[in-house]
Amino acid sequence: MPLVEVTYAPTVPEPCLRDLGSVLPHLVSLAVECPEEPYDGDLRPGDVEIRFRPLSPLDRSGLAVVIEIRSKWFASREANRQERVDALHANVRAATGLDDFGIYLSLPRAAWSQGD
Protein backbone atom coordinates (compact mmCIF):
# COMPACT_ATOMS: atom_id res chain seq x y z
CA MET A 1 0.00 0.00 0.00
CA PRO A 2 1.90 3.04 -1.20
CA LEU A 3 1.56 6.46 0.39
CA VAL A 4 2.06 9.24 -2.15
CA GLU A 5 2.67 12.93 -1.43
CA VAL A 6 2.57 15.40 -4.30
CA THR A 7 4.06 18.81 -3.57
CA TYR A 8 3.41 21.39 -6.24
CA ALA A 9 4.22 24.99 -7.10
CA PRO A 10 1.45 27.58 -7.51
CA THR A 11 2.27 27.73 -11.23
CA VAL A 12 0.97 24.18 -11.80
CA PRO A 13 -2.58 24.39 -13.20
CA GLU A 14 -5.33 22.54 -11.33
CA PRO A 15 -6.35 20.48 -14.41
CA CYS A 16 -2.78 19.15 -14.55
CA LEU A 17 -2.98 18.17 -10.87
CA ARG A 18 -6.33 16.46 -11.46
CA ASP A 19 -4.81 14.50 -14.35
CA LEU A 20 -1.91 13.53 -12.12
CA GLY A 21 -4.29 12.40 -9.37
CA SER A 22 -6.22 10.25 -11.79
CA VAL A 23 -3.21 8.39 -13.26
CA LEU A 24 -0.98 8.07 -10.19
CA PRO A 25 -2.82 5.22 -8.43
CA HIS A 26 -2.43 2.89 -11.40
CA LEU A 27 1.08 4.01 -12.38
CA VAL A 28 2.41 3.83 -8.81
CA SER A 29 0.84 0.40 -8.37
CA LEU A 30 2.60 -0.81 -11.51
CA ALA A 31 5.88 0.69 -10.33
CA VAL A 32 5.86 -1.06 -6.95
CA GLU A 33 4.17 -4.34 -7.81
CA CYS A 34 6.11 -7.39 -6.69
CA PRO A 35 5.48 -11.06 -5.88
CA GLU A 36 4.81 -10.19 -2.23
CA GLU A 37 2.23 -7.52 -3.18
CA PRO A 38 1.01 -8.26 -6.70
CA TYR A 39 -1.10 -5.71 -8.57
CA ASP A 40 -4.17 -7.18 -10.23
CA GLY A 41 -5.34 -3.92 -11.82
CA ASP A 42 -8.32 -3.66 -9.47
CA LEU A 43 -7.60 -0.84 -7.01
CA ARG A 44 -9.69 -0.79 -3.86
CA PRO A 45 -10.00 1.88 -1.16
CA GLY A 46 -6.76 2.11 0.78
CA ASP A 47 -4.60 0.54 -1.94
CA VAL A 48 -2.93 3.86 -2.82
CA GLU A 49 -3.24 6.99 -0.69
CA ILE A 50 -2.41 10.29 -2.41
CA ARG A 51 -2.06 13.67 -0.72
CA PHE A 52 -1.53 16.94 -2.58
CA ARG A 53 0.33 19.78 -0.86
CA PRO A 54 1.04 23.24 -2.26
CA LEU A 55 4.50 24.66 -1.67
CA SER A 56 4.51 27.22 1.10
CA PRO A 57 6.28 30.57 0.72
CA LEU A 58 9.03 29.17 2.98
CA ASP A 59 9.64 25.98 0.95
CA ARG A 60 12.57 25.78 -1.43
CA SER A 61 12.20 23.60 -4.49
CA GLY A 62 13.74 23.69 -7.93
CA LEU A 63 10.91 21.63 -9.44
CA ALA A 64 7.28 22.45 -10.13
CA VAL A 65 6.15 19.05 -8.80
CA VAL A 66 7.77 16.53 -6.48
CA ILE A 67 6.14 13.13 -6.03
CA GLU A 68 7.24 11.23 -2.94
CA ILE A 69 6.28 7.56 -2.69
CA ARG A 70 6.65 5.38 0.37
CA SER A 71 5.97 1.70 -0.07
CA LYS A 72 6.86 -1.24 2.14
CA TRP A 73 10.33 -2.72 1.65
CA PHE A 74 10.66 -6.09 -0.04
CA ALA A 75 13.90 -7.50 -1.45
CA SER A 76 12.26 -7.82 -4.86
CA ARG A 77 11.44 -4.09 -4.85
CA GLU A 78 14.87 -3.13 -3.55
CA ALA A 79 16.72 -5.04 -6.28
CA ASN A 80 15.58 -2.72 -9.08
CA ARG A 81 14.29 0.40 -7.37
CA GLN A 82 16.08 2.80 -9.73
CA GLU A 83 14.61 1.11 -12.80
CA ARG A 84 11.18 1.24 -11.15
CA VAL A 85 11.33 4.97 -10.43
CA ASP A 86 12.81 5.77 -13.87
CA ALA A 87 9.98 3.87 -15.57
CA LEU A 88 7.41 5.59 -13.35
CA HIS A 89 8.87 8.99 -14.25
CA ALA A 90 8.59 8.20 -17.96
CA ASN A 91 5.03 6.89 -17.53
CA VAL A 92 3.90 9.97 -15.57
CA ARG A 93 5.43 12.25 -18.22
CA ALA A 94 3.70 10.31 -21.02
CA ALA A 95 0.32 10.29 -19.24
CA THR A 96 0.26 13.91 -18.08
CA GLY A 97 2.67 15.92 -20.21
CA LEU A 98 4.42 17.13 -17.04
CA ASP A 99 8.03 18.05 -17.65
CA ASP A 100 9.40 19.82 -14.57
CA PHE A 101 8.99 17.15 -11.89
CA GLY A 102 10.85 14.58 -9.83
CA ILE A 103 9.92 11.34 -8.12
CA TYR A 104 11.39 10.04 -4.87
CA LEU A 105 10.76 6.37 -4.08
CA SER A 106 11.37 5.26 -0.51
CA LEU A 107 11.07 1.65 0.61
CA PRO A 108 11.07 1.63 4.42
CA ARG A 109 10.54 -1.41 6.57
CA ALA A 110 6.94 -0.88 7.60
CA ALA A 111 3.60 -2.47 8.38
CA TRP A 112 0.06 -1.46 7.43
CA SER A 113 -3.31 -2.33 8.91
CA GLN A 114 -6.61 -1.12 7.55
CA GLY A 115 -8.99 -3.51 9.24
CA ASP A 116 -11.89 -5.14 7.43
Look at residue 58 and tell me if it is in a domain.
yes
Element (H, E) at 7: strand 3-8
* pLDDT of 83: 96
Look at residue 10 and tell me if it is in a domain.
yes
Dist CA 95 CA 76 (whole Å): 26
User: pLDDT tens across 31-54, in order?
Assistant: 999 999 999 999 988 889 999 999
Look at residue 43 and tell me if it is in a domain.
yes
pTM over 0.85: yes
Look at residue 81 and tell me if it is in a domain.
yes
Range of the domain at 33: 3-106
| Number of domains forming the structure of the chain | 1
Domain with residue 86: its CATH number is: 3.30.429.10
Look at residue 111 and tell me if it is in a domain.
no
Look at residue 28 and tell me if it is in a domain.
yes
First to last CA, the chain: 15
